[in-house]
Structure 1
Amino acid sequence: MFKRLISSALVFGMAAIAPPARAQNCAPREIVVERLERQFNETLSSAGLQSGRSQDVIIEIWSSSQSGTFTVLVSHPTGLSCMVASGHDYFIVPEHKRRNDPAS
């Protein structure tokens, strides 16, 4: 009985401190960037800073105009980047001129 209790506590304790499932799509940023550039011919299209509770992260969109693929990364200050989305048929929405813009 005591052996089962200790085993159960150990298993549940390990599960509680394990990283989230999405962390499996994470790697050092330089490795992720190199793969996106070499394997998918993607380049950085846009990025922005997202303020979080514990730390700020950079949201990056990498894309390829040749293949139409794209990848969304979340890059942490620790140097770790996580792929959160990817797909195909990427397109850029052109900026619309403002109605009051004298140049329009």
Structure 2
Amino acid sequence: MRDMAIRMTTGLGLLALGAHEAAGQTAPRNCAPRPTVLERLADSYGETRQSIGLGSNNAVVEVFASVQTGSWTITVTMPDGTTCLVAAGDAFERLDEPRPAGDPA
């Protein structure tokens, strides 16, 4: 648990260094341009994209993880290219569970 807290603090701090100004306002501290976020997730944690989906307001929601270390990060990217960290942790596992019988599509 302590390692996760340290990782989140470090990650947020690094992203804050790369935060940019958009429309005259400073981006939130846990956000940065998408290329900066992807580079840091890959270089610092060895994480690659594991899944993707479209959220509200055309926001792209992605899960990045390292199958070697088990670290994972959930991000949301807004249409303007700003990517924000939503959550991060450890013990990532890939699951391909079939839908239970009788579960509506």
For residues 51-87 of structure 1, give each alpha carbon's deviation from its aligned partner in whole angstroms, at most 9, with x where no partner exists: 2xxx310100000000000000000110100001000
What's the Cα RMSD here?
2.0
Aligned length: 78
Unaligned runs of 5+ in 1: 1-17, 100-104
Equivalent residue number for residue 81 of structure 2: 79
2 CA distance for matches of 1:19 and 1:84? 18
Equivalent residue number for residue 42 of structure 1: 47
Equivalent residue number for residue 33 of structure 1: 38
Larger Rg: 1
1 CA distance for matches of 2:26 and 2:46? 30
2:70 equivalent among 65, 68, 82? 68
User: How many percent identity over aligned positions?
Assistant: 36
Equivalent residue number for residue 3 of structure 1: none
DSSP-derived class of the 1:24 partner:
coil
Q: TM-score, normalised by structure 2?
A: 0.66
Unaligned runs of 5+ in 2: 1-24
1:95 equivalent among 85, 94, 97? 97
2 CA distance for matches of 1:30 and 1:46? 17
